[in-house]
Amino acid sequence: MPMFSYPFMQNAYLVGTLIAIVAGIVGVFIVARSMSFLAHTLSEIGFAGASFGLFMGWNPLIGMLIFSIFASTTIGQLGIKEDRSESLISSVSGVAIGLGIAFLSLSQKNASAATGILFGSIFSISTSNIFEVIILAMLVLVLVMLLFRQLRHFAFDYSTAVFSLKNITFIQVAFLVIMATTVAVSAQVVGSLLIFILMTLPASAAMRLGRTVWQMIGLSIFFAILGVWLALVFSYWTNVPVSFYIAIIEAGIYFLSLAWTQRR
């Protein structure tokens, strides 16, 4: 029986494609603003949030959203200044991993629950989770479209945006909320430990090949979708987690883009 005849594969491709689009778009702004390290940290904070959700008996996505949005906006309000960002983010990252382990231990859930949080569980995603992902993904896309010009200025030319954008604080907080929501949504595919791969590697490759912002966004979406689609096929054939193949494929695309730009 063809794999696309199974409802779980249809759901996986629907959710995976939507998440790849969101991660591909937001990732360009993350990489342009040099916030890849923060995206990595938010993935670890998301792990703590999802573990807390399990501990409280909630949907892990809710816990991940709460922790990610609170942490991203808090770090943003503290400034994310170049001279202290690495120390601040490293400290938060360490605390988040510790909290995640503690909440998982206290929740007394089985190993499959922990594996789902860490590495994603797209093949077992429920109908209610699908609607949650669709709503959150659409919310992110609408916010990006409404604030596109300001976000482009903020991400690609921050030094002048500080002086020319009157609502720079609002844009920064909005961007951090968009990033945090994307982290929570993307965890459905790649898990909390590897979210930053889907959010940064396709965008990094696209920014080496694209000449305009729209070209970068288009290429980033293409690379993200390609990675997710191929990973789903390989995972179905081999029964190896999707996140493993996404990491390998996206890293391969990035190294190919690196080699291509060095040859020009």
9 touches 210 (CB < 8 A): no
pLDDT at position 74: 75
What does the pLDDT profile of the chain (264 residues) look like in tens digits? Answer: 577 788 888 888 988 899 999 999 999 999 998 887 777 777 778 778 878 887 887 777 788 888 888 877 776 656 555 445 556 666 777 777 787 778 777 776 655 555 666 666 777 777 777 888 888 889 999 999 999 999 999 888 888 887 887 888 888 888 888 888 888 777 766 776 677 788 899 999 999 999 899 999 999 999 999 999 999 999 888 888 888 899 899 999 999 999 888 876
DSSP assignment letter at 218: H
Indicate if the alpha-carbon torsion angle 211, 141, 71, 80 is positive or negative. positive
pTM: 0.85
pLDDT at position 167: 82
125 touches 11 (CB < 8 A): yes
Question: Coil, strand, or helix at residue 79?
Answer: coil
User: Which domains are present in the chain?
Assistant: 7-263 (1.10.3470.10)
